[in-house]
Amino acid sequence: MANLNKTLIIGNVGKPVELRYTPSGKAVANFTVAVNSFYTKLDGEKKQDTEWFSVVVWGKMAEACNQYLDKGKQVFIEGQMKTRSWDDKDSMKHYKTELLARQVQFLGGKPIEKEVVGDEPVSEEIEPEDIPF
């Protein structure tokens, strides 16, 4: 049986990129992306919906995102959806679904020297103790 977990989005960065480093020195960036969809209701009213994605980027690609992406910039991201869970100090379980980026392309605006493409596995080499949150 075949399986596939692949997500492609084009949207606008919703907040500044947060760049951190794991204890082993690996870069990890977090930011949100808003993806808008437009439709017309049966009565002719035009509507817009916005879906927000929490994005996680690792390695050199994370550092490039921190350097080139600002709030409002348009970006194309290809990756996979991943849900993680953790217990807070009161032993309450929390869940968060994130888009783990494998490829990031900066769209619009001033062109940069080269496209940033992920060349590192998203989860195979990431140890739980490396996650800074």
pLDDT for position 108? 76
Say how far apart CA 43 and CA 111 lie, in whole Å.
42
E strand intervals along the chain: 7-13, 18-21, 27-40, 46-58, 74-87, 93-107
Answer whether residue 113 is part of any domain: no
Residue 112 reports pLDDT greater than 50: no
Q: Does residue 60 form part of some domain? A: yes
pTM assigned to the model: 0.76
The CATH number of the domain where 54 resides is what? Answer: 2.40.50.140
For residue 96, being part of any structural domain is answered with no
**Assigned domain for 88 exists:** no
Kindly state whether residue 103 falls inside one of the protein's structural domains: no
Three-state SS at 66: helix
What is the span of the domain harbouring residue 61? Answer: 1-38+45-82
Q: Do residues 79 and 7 make contact, with C-beta atoms less than 8 angstroms apart? A: yes
Q: What are the pLDDT digits (tens) for 57-111?
A: 999 999 999 999 999 999 999 999 999 998 999 999 999 999 999 999 999 765 4
In a domain, 61, yes or no: yes
pLDDT digits (tens, 9 = 90+) for 23-56: 999 999 999 999 999 999 899 999 999 999 999 9
Domain count, the chain: 1
Q: Using alpha carbons only, give the angle 45, 50, 53 rounded to the nearest 5 degrees.
A: 165
Q: Once rounded to an integer, what is the mean pLDDT over residues 7-25?
A: 95
